[in-house]
Amino acid sequence: ITPNINTEHRSYFKEEDQLGERENPLLFSIRDSRTNLWVNPLFMFTSLNDNINPVIDGVYLETEKERIELTGRQIIPPQSYRLLIDTTDFIVKYGIPLVPYQVKVRYLGRVVYSLSLDSLVNREGILKVEGNPQGESPFTNEGMINGGILGITGGKGFLEVEVIDYRGNKTSKQFPLNQD
């Protein structure tokens, strides 16, 4: 990149300032110097006009032997499953696919998983989301949200997945489980 700003010292810039020139798209990150955390750059760009709800592409329960895609009323054997959420948030103006800002999962009426993708920490060379309930990467190798282990009971119930983007647009899906 050919910078147009002073990279030797702290620089300030305003909207519409050109930071540099580059032939290929530029990927960058922002680190909050006070908290020493990586910050999602979208929070810095509040002017992005996004009124499109994020999409839940799929919700899966996985064991060592199989992966079950939740599609509607299903009989799910009672046991522990790894919960996987395939979700996308598009900023239409730019055609950029993103992961929504927040994911919540409710089972039997209570929140069993909640994650906000607002900041990353570097723990022993591995980037992780601060406060991730699983204490590991929130993503699978396939790019899905790793919702951790979920114990499904034998009774009737609902699993609800809610995703919210950085602008507050929301989508949720509810899956009736073990109901006739």
Please give, one letter per residue, the 3-state secondary structure of the chain: CEECCCCCCCCCCCCCCCCEECCCCCCCCEEECCCCEEECHHHHCCCCCCCCCCEEEEEEEECCCCEEECCCCECCCCEEEEEEEEEEEEECCCCEEECCCEEEEEECCEEEEEEECCEEEEECCEEEECCCCCCCCCECCCCCEEEEEEEECCCCEEEEEEEECCCCCEEEEEEEECCC
Residue pLDDT, tens place only, 128-167? 666 555 556 677 878 888 888 999 988 889 999 999 887 7
What pLDDT does 90 receive?
A: 72
What pLDDT does 21 receive?
A: 67
What pLDDT does 146 receive?
A: 87
What pLDDT does 1 receive?
A: 42
